[in-house]
Chains A and B, each alone.
Chain A
Amino acid sequence: MLFNSLEFFVFLPIVFALYWLIGGKRIKSQNLLVALASYVFYGWWDWRFLSLILFSSLVDYSIGLSLGKINKPSKRKLLLWISICVNLGFLGFFKYYNFFIDSLINSFTFFGKELSINTLNIILPVGISFYTFQTLSYTIDVYNKKLEPTKEFVGFMAFVSFFPQLVAGPIERATNLLPQFYKERSFNYANAVDGLRQVLWGLFKKIVIADNCAKYANIIFNNHDDYSGSTLLLGAFFFAFQIYGDFSGYSDIAIGISRLFGFNLKRNFAFPYFSRDIAEFWRRWHISLSTWFRDYLYIPLGGSKGGTKMKIRNTFIIFIVSGFWHGANWTFIVWGALNAIYFLPLLLLNKNRVNTDIVAQGKYLPSLKELGQIAFTFFITLIAWVFFRADSVAHAASYLENMFTLSLFNKFEVFPTTILLLTLFFIIVEWLGRAGEYAIERIDFMKKPLRWSFYVILIILMFSFTGEQQEFIYFQF
């Protein structure tokens, strides 16, 4: 079920009404409702894969319980590895099996040998990368004794399958979300209003910005040989806003809906395109995944505490794994590696934590230096996005080759003025609201009539400029 679908607009009020009719004191019943609703939400797409979520929940629930009882380190480690193997095994099979087989065949062909292994016609279960990492975080935290194992299975099921963030995150830590399932939830007016506001902004990002930018990004990327460098740069720009609007829009909707049910999810995006360097960008982009890799991969590998070689190794590992997490394609690996290359100089010069505050805080405009930094960071991000969006590394290379020619200074061949104006409006609102959790969080300074007028304008823009409905990009990851 898509957040921007008619079914969801029927589903959400029903679940919301039932949830609060049950009341915050009947926690178990509410959890059961959340779990059932989440299974309906997921099953709407493909009910067969519900068994995967259920199995994953059962495995990690049982392993968690066992970890709570066993103190022997070797046995605890074994249990942890069982959880890791089961979860990553599913992920590996559904997401990466064909990639590995293809890569193996290509490698053998390269050395002049033919290998005959058949790839499989595998459907990738929506959101598998997200809920796998979420359940893994539970087992790892229980193993590290940061979290007490839960005994209540329904609550755990609801945690694993929580519908607002099930298929595209944010990837919640068990330490943050799970305890919320065992606490009494009470309806909070301010929280619910704020949640709805965040949903509205998320829908605007998805429907108006992402879906409209997608149209032009697709046209330009799919016919890149026909366009001049300037248009190709514009194509990368459209994709940058498509993916940002799409993914951060989804996160806003997920966080907003969760607040309607009395849950608080972690922030996933913090205005990444206003970053002054790539390290800041990565502290602001897909925060739940970056911090997941930081805590469960980078730090266990030694982080940046070792020598230069270790720093370089760990940086490449985390960025390449992060790229590979996005999809079984060399393009994502190159995208990850490229970001590692961007990041390394800052890390090695100890300048990766220079820009930790809000850019031009309290000012309407950035300084020239800040503007230059933002523009440069955005530009190198655009280059990396070309790999992320391209069908193959060769496609990306050809795209960039065509882009960096003298035709970069030609007139644009594709120039949708309305969409660009809408994107400009979006950038301005994001800039003005960059001190908040999301762009329009602090709109309360406006009087009610003005505030409501703004909401109505957003809704009218949504219905007037609805792009062709696209699935959220991150569903495929």
Chain B
Amino acid sequence: MIKFLKNIVVFLLITVIIGEIVVRVTHAVTDIPQRTIDDSGIQKYFPNQDGYWKGGDHQWVVNELGWPGELPDSNDNLINIIGDSYIENFMNPNECHQSTFLKENMKDYNFMEAARSGVSLIEAMEISKQTDTLNPKHTLIYVNNNDFLESIVEVKSLSDITQVNLTNNEIVFGKMKAPGAKKVLYTWKLLYYFYNRFPIGGNKKKKKKDALETTSKKDAERKTEHDDNILKLINYIKANYTISNKTLVFHPNSDHMIIDMCLNSGFNVIVLDSSNDSKDWTFGYDTHWTCYGHEKVAEQVSKNLLSNKSISLSN
């Protein structure tokens, strides 16, 4: 029995080592950059990292400021782009980033991205405080419905996301969730591969999600409550941040109620529309934009920026 168990342990160790090598060589999982929290409470990445996206087709880079993507050659005529995983855009190569496409369409301007997955609207506004020090001509903040709701403690308290407590008007900065476990998971690629490939309780999660969707349908009255909170959030932002040089870029199919509230409160708004495009903007396996999607988004944004007289591109 001892020989049997010993052989099993040795065999498993060898398998794990070889498995780790295979996963690394074939880039079977995406390399995940390490995060940190800066002095202002903003979660960003450790500067100057790079890694491969799943499959190894392209590399991502984190620049010296700790944001994904490359920095512009110059900060003259700068337009900042702030957003979540859509703008972070690890799933596409650098030439498919918003900054690249916008630069192609607006050659007189330079673009800088500051994005991280999970950024809420209020965190985007906090990030803009930092990026405003670069004296940009304008700032684009890409948002969807969730970015509003996730910003509000009263809707749901989320410890890993920066939120605002609208009762006492206080910003609650997000904390990193299980950083130790995540470090192990992202460093031990084979483990991360298994974690991705065979999610623990995957079906249960789906059932829970379905149940949540049913509940949210039942609780239509909650929407009114959410709308009140969103209006308070918009007013809070208006009172505490400069919004005249910022434009909210809404994802396609965003809630019109939220868009109207932003417009009525004096925000510059661009609403993306993919309904007339026969080709899908998103990947088949998730809702993030493909390279084509980013190109189309940038096309609509630059067109709006250049033609919309209410958006000022001068300081």
Contacts and interface: CB of A to CB of B under 8 A. Distances in A.
Given A455-B11, A459-B15, A460-B18, A466 B197 contact: yes
Given A6-B198, A452-B11, A455-B11, A463 B4 contact: no
Given A456-B15, A460-B19, A193 B4 contact: yes
Interface in B200-220: 200
B18 A456 contact: yes
Nearest to A187: B1
Contacts of A464: 22, 28
Contact of B197 (A20, A189, A463): A463
A463 to B, nearest CB: 7
Contacts of A192: 4
B14 interface: yes
Interface string A454-473: 01100110011010000000
Nearest to A17: B5
A413 to B, nearest CB: 20
Interface residues of B, number: 17
B4 to A, nearest CB: 5
Interface in B1-24: 1, 3-4, 7-8, 11, 14-15, 18-19, 22
B45 interface: no
Contacts of B197: 463, 466
A189 B15 contact: no
Contacts of A466: 197-198
A187 B4 CA distance: 10
Interface in A429-476: 452, 455-456, 459-460, 463-464, 466
A89 to B, nearest CB: 34
Contact of A189 (B3, B19, B28, B198): B3
B193 interface: yes
A452 B18 CA distance: 12
A459 B194 CA distance: 13
Contacts of B200: 6
Interface residues of A, number: 15
A452 B14 contact: yes
Interface string B15-43: 10011001000001000000000000000
A2 to B, nearest CB: 12
Interface in A46-88: none
Contacts of B11: 452, 455
Contacts of B198: 6, 466
Contacts of A6: 198, 200
Contacts of B8: 196
A32 B7 CA distance: 29
Given A463-B19, A466-B197, A456 B4 contact: no
Contacts of B4: 187, 189, 192-193
Interface in B92-121: none
Nearest to A192: B4
Nearest to B1: A187
Nearest to A466: B197
Contacts of B194: 463
Interface in B170-213: 193-194, 197-198, 200
A463 B193 contact: yes
A466 B287 CA distance: 24
22 contacts: A20-B1, A187-B1, A187-B4, A189-B1, A189-B3, A192-B4, A193-B4, A455-B15, A456-B14, A456-B15, A456-B18, A459-B19, A460-B18, A460-B19, A460-B22, A463-B193, A463-B194, A463-B197, A464-B22, A464-B28, A466-B197, A466-B198
Interface of A: 6, 20, 187, 189, 192-193, 196, 452, 455-456, 459-460, 463-464, 466
Given A189-B3, A464-B22, A466-B198, 8 more contacts: A20-B1, A187-B4, A189-B4, A193-B4, A455-B11, A460-B18, A463-B193, A463-B197
